[in-house]
A and B are shown apart, each in its own frame.
Chain A
Amino acid sequence: MSTDDIDATDTSGTDDLDGTFGRYGGQYVPEVLMPAIDELEDAYRRYVLHNEDSFMDEFRRRLADFGGRPIPLQRADRLSDRYDTEVYLKREDLLHGGAHKLNNALGQVLLAKYMGKDRIIAETGAGQHGTATAMAAAHLDMPCEIYMGETDIARQRPNVFRMRINGAEVTPVTVGRGTLKEAISETMRDWATNVSDTHYVIGSVVGPHPFPRMVRDFQSVISEEAREQIKEKAGRLPDSVVACAGGGSNTMGTFHHFVDDEAVDLVAVEAGGSSLSVDEDRGVAPNSASLSTGNEGVLHGARTKLLQDGDGQIMESHSVSAGLDYSGVGPELAHLVDTGRVTPVNVDDDAALEAFHRLSQDEGIIPALETAHAFGYLEENPDAVGDLTVVNVSGRGDKDLETVIEETAKRDLDIAPDMSVFEQVGAGGMMDMGGDHAGGDGSGGDHAGGHE
Chain B
Amino acid sequence: MSLDGVFAADDPAFIPYLAAGDPSYEASQRYVEALVEGGADVIELGLPFSEPIAEGTTIQNAVVRALESGMTPERYFEFVADLDVEVPIVCMTYYNLVFQYGGEHGPRPFVERAAEVGIDGFVVVDLPAEEADPLREACDEFGLDLVFIVAPTTTDDRLEAMRERVSGYVYVQARTGVTGAREDVSDQTAATLARIGDWDVPKAVGFGISDGDHAERIVSAGADGIIVGSALIDIIAEGTSAGSQTQSDGVAEGDSVAETAQRLTAKARELKDGAIRGLQDRPQPEQ
Contacts and interface: CB of A to CB of B under 8 A. Distances in A.
Interface string B45-59: 000011111111100
A312 B127 contact: no
Nearest to A28: B126
A184 to B, nearest CB: 8
A193 B176 contact: yes
B73 interface: yes
Given A28-B128, A32-B151, A34-B154, A189 B96 contact: no
Residue picked from B53, B131, B173, most chain A C-beta under 10 Å: B53
A301 interface: yes
Given A300-B53, A313-B50, A27 B177 contact: no
A65 interface: no
Interface class of chain A by DSSP:
mixed
B51 A185 contact: yes
Category for how many chain B residues contact A: 35 or more
Q: Name the interface size band of chain A.
A: 35 or more
Contacts of B51: 181, 185, 299-300, 314
Contacts of A299: 51, 96
A308 interface: yes
Contact of B131 (A26, A195, A196, A297): A26
A32 B153 contact: yes
A299 to B, nearest CB: 6
B79 interface: no
Contact of A311 (B97, B125, B153, B178): B97
Nearest to A186: B53
Interface in A194-252: 194-196
B95 interface: yes
A30 B177 contact: no
A424 B154 CA distance: 58
B50 A28 contact: no
B25 interface: no
A192 interface: yes
Contacts of A283: 50
A36 interface: yes
A181 B52 CA distance: 11
Contacts of A337: none
Contacts of B54: 30, 32, 189, 192
B99 interface: yes
A260 interface: no
Given A31-B173, A298-B95, A312-B96, A196 B126 contact: no
Interface in A15-31: 26-31
B31 interface: no
Contacts of A314: 50-51, 96
Contact of A313 (B49, B126, B127, B173): B49
Nearest to B60: A175
Contacts of B173: 31-32
A314 B95 CA distance: 12
Contact of B53 (A36, A188, A297, A310): A188
11 contacts: A28-B126, A29-B53, A32-B173, A36-B153, A175-B57, A185-B51, A189-B177, A193-B178, A299-B96, A312-B49, A313-B49
Interface of B: 49-57, 60, 64, 67, 72-74, 94-97, 99-101, 125-128, 130-131, 148-155, 158, 173, 176-178
